[in-house]
Structure formats: structure tokens, C-alpha cells
Structure 1
Amino acid sequence: MEDRLKNLKKAMNKRTFADLNFSEQHQKAIRKKITQQEESDEDILLAVMQLLVQEKTGHELTGLLRGRGIQKFENNEGFLYTLLHRLEQSGCIHTKWDDSGTKYYWLQDKGRKLLSKAEQKRTKQRLVFKELLEG
């Protein structure tokens, strides 16, 4: 698989990017924006709610968010637990403790409805953005 991706990159470099010229300064600026890009709170909230469709622990959530490239929790896991607490207080998620002292989180009906609305909004935004790029 990795060789196929390398070959695809080579082909794209030869064909797609052949006519594009970026200065070294422009390339550095783009790389800096990519590496420093932080997720918006809205993106993080959406990701958390999507993951909580099924019961998860805070530790599981952190790992899954990391897998999605969300790094806001890397040195500040308190942010995640504050967010989870707010969702619990608003009635969007339900929690329970098991016998070993592990806390589990999952969406309630209110949270599922909000998640559905947020996903529809995101889909509409993507369609508008796509139209702008293609038009």
C-alpha cells in the first residue's frame, strides 16, 4: 500500500503540480499553517459527540480523538473532561460509573438530535464550499 501511495505522489508531482510554482517562503508558510492548524471547538464537539454514539470512557475518547488528528488534549486532558461535564449538565450525554471506578459516557436522545443537526449543518457547509471552488 505504501508503495502505491508513493507512486501516486510521484505521478501527481509530475502531472498535477508541474505548472505550479511556489516560492520557498510560500511553501514554508503553508507548512507552518498545516502544522499549527488547531481544531475549532465546534469541530472537537462534533467529533466527541460522534464518538459517543457508543459508550466510551474518557481514556478511550482521548485515544480516538488523537486518531482523528485532534491534538488539543495532548497536554490538557482537563479540557476533554470539562467538555464532557458540560455535555452531561446540558442533558446531551449520560454517564455511569462501573464497579472498578471507571466512568462511561454516551449520548442521550437530546445529544443525538443535536449531533444530527450539526452533521446536517456541516454537510451543507461542505456543499457550499464545493460549489464556490467549482464555480
Structure 2
Amino acid sequence: MEERLKNLKKVLDKTAFSNLNFTDQHRKNIKERINKTSESDENVLLAVMQLLVHEKTGYELAKNLRRRGIQKFEDAEGFLYILLHRLEQKGYLQSSWEDSKVKYYRLNDKGKRLLQKAESKHSKKQFVFKEMLQE
């Protein structure tokens, strides 16, 4: 497969991208933008918890995270389910099965209190979430 991708790149370089030139400064600017928009674990966790104020499946949650521009779980949705399982074990989420096929997740009261604490102490949310994961 990798060889096919290399061949595709060669073809695109000769056709579609033949008129594009990127300066070193342009590349540097792009890298800086990527680094600025990279998602910290705390921001991702905050977004997950905000979205789980209302009941959602893991699939719905992943879709909503993508809409928010969070791509941390792209091609690795298993990590999202690990996070959901951890939050459930720590007592921040409740889950239920619908017709034994679909699992729904939602913040419980403990999770809502933690979310409020994190949102009210926005600058200290990192501490709040570390505290949550260590309990």
C-alpha cells in the first residue's frame, strides 16, 4: 500500500500540485498553526464532559467532537471508549444499554459537579482533571 501512495504522490506532484510552491516561511507558519490548535488532554476531556451533559452513544460523542474540531480520536476511537470506561469507573458517568445493542453515556451528578468546577476555574482545569483521574 505504501508504494501505491508514493506513486500517487508522484502523479499529483506532476499534475495537480505542479504549480504550488511552499516557502520555508510558509511551512513554518503552518507548523505553528498546527501546534497552536493541537488539543490538550484537558481541553479534550472538558469537551467530552460538556457533550455528555446530554445522553449520547460513543458514536454520537465522536461525531460531536469532530464537529468541534477535535481530532484526537480520529482513526483511534478505541481510546475514546477507554476514556468513557475510565470516567464510568471513577463514578462520573452513568451508562445504560438500549435493547442490549447500544450503550448510552451521560454525566451523573458527581460528573456535573466536576464539570462545573472545571468551567468555573477555567485556568485551573488542568488541576481539576488531574485530581479526577487520580481519585
Q: Secondary structure at the match of 1:71?
A: coil
Q: Displacement, 1:28?
A: 2.5
* 1:95-119, Cα deviation, whole Å (9 max, x unpaired): 0001051000000000000000111
Give 1:57's aligned residue. 57
Query: How far did residue 38 of structure 1 move?
Result: 2.4
> Which segments of structure 1 move beyond 4 Å, counting only runs of 4 or more?
none
Structure 2 partner of 1:107: 107
Name the count of aligned residue pairs. 102
Query: In the alignment, which residue of structure 1 is the partner of 2:34?
Result: 35
Per-residue CA distance 1:3-58 (angstroms, 9 max, x = gap): xxxxxxxxxxxxxxxxxxxxx54443221132354211111110000000000000
Per the alignment, residue 6 of structure 2 pairs with none
How far apart in 2 are the matches of 1:46 and 1:117? 11
Q: Structure 1: 5+ residue runs without aligned partners? A: 1-23, 126-135
TM-score, length of structure 1 as denominator length: 0.69
Q: Which amino acid aligns with 1:51?
A: L
Tell me which residue corresponds to 1:87.
Answer: 87
Q: Secondary structure of the equivalent of 2:95?
A: strand
Distance 1:120 1:30 in 2: 33
- The 1:31–1:78 alpha-carbon spacing in structure 2 relative to 1, beyond 3 Å, is same
